Amino acid sequence: MRNAEKDEREMAQRREKMLEEGFRLFSERGIESVAMQDVADACGLGIATLYRYFKTKLSLVLAIGTRQWEDYAKVIDANRTENAVEKMTAAEELSFYLDFYIDLYHNHKDLLCFNQNFNIFVQHEGATQEQLAPYIAALGNIVGLFHMMYEKGKKDGTLRTDMSEDRMFAATSHIMLAVAVRYAQGLIFQANSEDMTRELLLVKQMILREYVTENK
C-alpha cells in the first residue's frame, strides 16, 4: 500500500527542485534560451515528469517568479520588525525601502536578472491577468507596504503627497529596479567591473530629494 503522506512529501520536494533549478538556469542563461528539457535534465527527471507539474514553460516561469517575490517579501518583513519601521517617519521609511533595491544588487543579482527576463517573456507569451494573478499578489505584498508609508506621509507631512501614490510608487520602483538590473547584468559600462553601490546610493538620494519635504 502506498504511503499517501510520503508521496505528498516527495511530490513537494520534486516541485521545489524544479523551481530551484528553473530559477538558476533562467537567471544564468535567460528564460528564452532555456528549454523545459534543460530544466528536467538539471533536476535529474524525465521531461514527462516536469510537464506533469508544469504543463507549459509559462506556468513554470510564473511559479518561479511568484515564489521568488514571496520569499523576498519575507526578507523585507523581517527587516521591518528588526528596524522598528512603525516608529520611523514616512521619509525615513522611504529611505529604508529604497535600500532594498541596493540589497537586491548586492545579494540577489540572480533575482534581478530573472525579473528582467521575466517581464519580456510573459509579454511575449501573452500571459493573461488570470495567469498573472498569483505573481501580482506576491508583488502586492511590497506594494501594500508602500501604501502604508504613503498614508503615514499624509499624516506626518514628511513626504510629498501632491503626487498620486500609484505614480510615486511606479516612478520609484521603475527607476531603482532599472538601474539595479543594468548594473547587475553589466549593461552599463563599468571600469574594471567595479562595485556600483555608490551610483545606486546617488540615485536613492535623488529620489529622496524629490519626495521628502522640509518637515522631515
pLDDT digits over 63-114, tens only?
A: 999 999 999 999 999 999 999 999 999 999 999 999 999 999 999 999 999 9
Closest C-alpha among 56, 157, 177 to residue 109: 177
Architecture per CATH, 1-55: Orthogonal Bundle (1.10)
Q: Which pLDDT score, from 0 to 100, does residue 118 have?
A: 94
From CA 61, how far away is CA 35, in angstroms rounded?
A: 11
Q: What is the pLDDT of residues 24-64, one digit of tens each?
A: 999 999 999 999 999 999 999 999 999 999 999 999 999 99
157 contacts: CB under 8 Å, gap ≥ 6: 213, 215
- 139-144 CB contacts, 8 Å cutoff, 24+ apart: 139/69, 141/69, 141/70, 141/73, 141/76, 142/69, 142/72, 142/73, 142/76, 143/169
Of 16-25, 101-110, 161-170, 193-202, the poorest mean pLDDT is in: 193-202
DSSP 3-state of 212: strand
Report pLDDT for 185.
Answer: 79
- Comma-separated ranges of CATH 1.10.10.60 domains in the chain: 1-55
pLDDT of residue 151: 96
pTM value? 0.89
Backbone angles phi, psi at 213, to 5 degrees: -90, 175
List, by residue range, all CATH 1.10.357.10 domains of the chain: 57-211
Q: Give dist(CA 94, CA 30) in Å, integer.
A: 32
Cα end-to-end span (Å), the chain: 67
Tell the CATH topology of 57-211: Tetracycline Repressor; domain 2 (1.10.357)
Rounded to a whole number, what is the largest CA-CA distance in the chain? 71
What residues have CB less than 8 Å from 185, skipping those under 6 apart?
112, 113, 116
- State the alpha helices, DSSP H only, in the chain: 4-29, 36-43, 47-53, 57-82, 90-107, 109-125, 129-156, 165-185, 197-211
Instruction: Centre a 10 Å sphere on the Cβ of residue 99 and count the other Cβ atoms it contains.
Output: 17
User: Could you give the CA distance from residue 180 to residue 213 in angstroms, rounded to a whole number?
Assistant: 26
